[in-house]
Amino acid sequence: MKNKYLSQEEKDFGLIEYMKHSTFNALGFSFLASTSVYLMAIYYKATNLQLGYVSAVFHMSGIILIFLPKLLDGFNLVQVHFYAWLFRGLICTFYGLLFWVSEHYAVQLILTVYTLFCLIRTIGVPVGQPIQQTLTNEDNIGDFVAKLSNRHQVMNIVSNAVSFLILSLRFLGTLPGLLLIQFLGIVSNTISSYYLKKVPCRELVEYKPGRNIFLLLKESLLNREKTMVLLLHWLSLVSVILASFFIPFFKKAILMPDNMIFLYVITGSFSTLLSGYLVKPFVDRIGSKPIMIMSSIGLMMLSTGWGFISVKMSWPTIFFLSFLTFFFQGMIIILTARLMLKMIPENDKITYTSMVHFFSAIVALTVGLFGGFLIDIGETLGSGYLHDYSLVFFMQAIVASGIGMSCLFLTDQGSLSVRETAQILLSTRNLKAYLDVYQFNRTQDSVKKKTILLSIGYSDTNIATAEIRKILKNPFSAEKREILRSLFERPREVLLDEIIREACDEHSYHQASAIFALGAYPHKKVEAKLLNLLDSPSLEISSTAAKSLARIGNVSSLEKIIGLANSPSNRIWEKMNFYIAFSLMDKSGKYLAGIFETASRVGGNSGTQTLLSMCSSLLDMSPLLSEIYRKENEKAMKGLRNLLTEARQIQLFNHHKKRIHEDFQNENWGDLFNWCSSLLEEKDFEDHRQYLKHAIIRQSQEDLNATTLIATLYFTYQLIKSAE
């Protein structure tokens, strides 16, 4: 039987449905929540304390959570969430009574309906985060929170743009326009409830007698890490409540029209959306702590500036400052939400989240009313340098500094320091490497993955090194071979122990690639390991070890390698490895003396071509023999014609061009071989060329064919050219 935990398939389906819910939820919430309610209350001349209540009641309603865990015990989380969300929208239909009540009772009606909206919403809030937790994994919580925030902000922009257009239609009037906005919110909220109901969930509200919110608060406060997260959550909440006073500030102090208020909200949504997109690649790898510290500094400076701002300042400047303020506050909200989601315990989930929101309600009520009180004080004092809302904004600056100070004592596992974070964000090189790593881990496109991997392999940053180390730890990674190859081309000394460990593991699928990579690390411990690997029963391993030994300059095992190379069981791969080792160890070129004999024993036309082409490449000849063979393989005689065109600079070849062509076409291999031998016998060479000459002359005529004759003509031409 299935337990409460979801399978990955259920999580994937649930995430899709939850994102659909979040889309319409954000749309409906934006229509129904504080902005339009603020404007309705201001329309009916609500007092500062009443506006402070509107700011606070959204969170203050959490006071009822003291009773809910016991009352909801045994109910499915999604069912609780669904009915709470459905009825919170329907209660807003009572705003329609504003057409029939007097102005004296209008504010009371607005506050009553909005209070009921918040109370019903509060029933669903404690189960929201546990549902999100069931759909996410430990390593993608930050990405999920950022994606959820971005979805919310996009729909927030859409809804506020619609609200702006509605309030710009003069024939509707202010109150009908605001009530139309509420109607759109009710419709959107109902649709969001439908998608929410489809999210799979088998978890129930569990209440354990005695495990009440006060006990959980006490336990949390005795845990330093939980205490700091709760403190940050409540400080972030205080900042959000104080920021909500921007709307009455713009409306009453700056005299901004209602439709422009919605443009301000859209500006804030764009800013928060930008912060979400920017923080998304970083939050799960860098952590919340360093980014929150930097964001709190920015918010503190801006809040102080708002306290001194002139109410006559131009609107573009006000909108620009609003954009920056929402940017930093958006960062703090997203990062705090990540910390809170990680902190929810496996047991007592609903009681824990109820505890958080219950005490959040007390904080919200206190701050909301205190904010209204500060505005009253500001209106009473008056000052040429300050405005009525200055004290509220100064308080927000103090709260922002408190967030930064609290982060210094936060233990966010895996989080980088502020210095390390700054090194990433302020360095173009480090930032590119970081984003490459982020995209590499997210993309499923194999071609794109290889392209990014190439960029990571060539980056010399610590970020790239850390990601490469992670790949090396994976026993079955499709990218491991490419990474080991890159470690040969761009050596990283700090990863040498990991490469050695992989190279010495005879059960590793990538052992040969690791041995190949060791060819770029000339160390005594590398030599010792490679010398041991020469005795491997696998010729693939021993030949690769021989090649790497040669590359790091160890020639002590040349005779042993020659013996291994003569094994009749060698495949083309091993033969090539051994010949590369010879070419690097034996500078005299003796290895060339048997190149034709060895090539003829490889078996198969392609094997012979490969070994002889490798010889051309090792000697750095031009054009490469492989290119001649490529053209010959495309079309018979094409490679020969290309070779003769290249060789016509030598008079002997130019003079006998027609004869060579006819003999080759008629397969007169013996005549062509004798002609090449006669040319070489007249020449004396030094260094490796003497051994190549002997290899050509002494090859068995029984092995002559089109492939070996092209090589004979090619090497003969190269030797004569080098002698002139």
What distance in Å separates the CA atoms of residue 211 and residue 70, rounded to the nearest whole number?
A: 10
What's 410-451 look like in SS3?
A: CCCCCCCCHHHHHHHHCCHHHHHHHHHHHHHHHCCCHHHHHH
| 3-state secondary structure at position 142 | helix
What distance in Å separates the CA atoms of residue 579 and residue 556, rounded to the nearest whole number?
A: 16
What distance in Å separates the CA atoms of residue 153 and residue 394, rounded to the nearest whole number?
A: 27
Matching residue, tokens 């003999």: 663
Cβ contact 624:613 at 8 Å: yes
Domain range summary for the chain, segments of one domain joined by +: 8-421, 618-724
The per-residue DSSP string of 208-230 comes to: -TT--HHHHHHHHHTSHHHHHHH
Cis? peptide before 290, omega within 30° of 0: no
pLDDT number for residue 64: 67
Cα distances (Å, whole numbers) of residue 291 to 193, 305, 332, 409: 34, 21, 8, 14
| Axis crossing angle, helix 315-343 with helix 141-168, rounded to the nearest 10 | 140
Cβ contact 129:353 at 8 Å: yes
Specify the DSSP class assigned to residue 93: G
* Cβ neighbours of residue 387 closer than 8 Å, sequence gap 6 or more: 253, 309, 310, 311, 378
Q: What is the pLDDT of residues 598-648, one digit of tens each?
A: 787 776 788 888 888 988 888 888 889 999 999 999 998 998 899 988 888
pLDDT number for residue 501: 92
pLDDT number for residue 397: 92
What distance in Å separates the CA atoms of residue 625 and residue 615, rounded to the nearest whole number?
A: 9
* Cβ neighbours of residue 394 closer than 8 Å, sequence gap 6 or more: 303, 304, 307
* Cβ neighbours of residue 643 closer than 8 Å, sequence gap 6 or more: 628, 710, 713, 714, 717
Half-sphere exposure of 710 (CA within 13 A, CB side): 27
The backbone torsions φ and ψ at residue 76, rounded to the nearest 5 degrees and listed phi first, read -65, 140
Nearest to 304 by CA among 398, 438, 442: 398
Q: 111-129 as b/e, with b when 16 or more CB fall inside 10 Å?
A: bebbbbbbbbbbbbbbbbb
pLDDT number for residue 179: 85
Taking 50 as the pLDDT cut, the residues of the chain under it are: none
> What residues does 204 pair with on adjacent strands?
76
What distance in Å separates the CA atoms of residue 445 and residue 440, rounded to the nearest whole number?
A: 9
C-beta neighbour count of 388 within 10 angstroms: 22
* Cβ neighbours of residue 273 closer than 8 Å, sequence gap 6 or more: 149, 150, 153, 154, 157, 330
Class of domain 8-421: mainly alpha
Cα distances (Å, whole numbers) of residue 587 to 327, 566, 611, 696: 65, 20, 19, 19
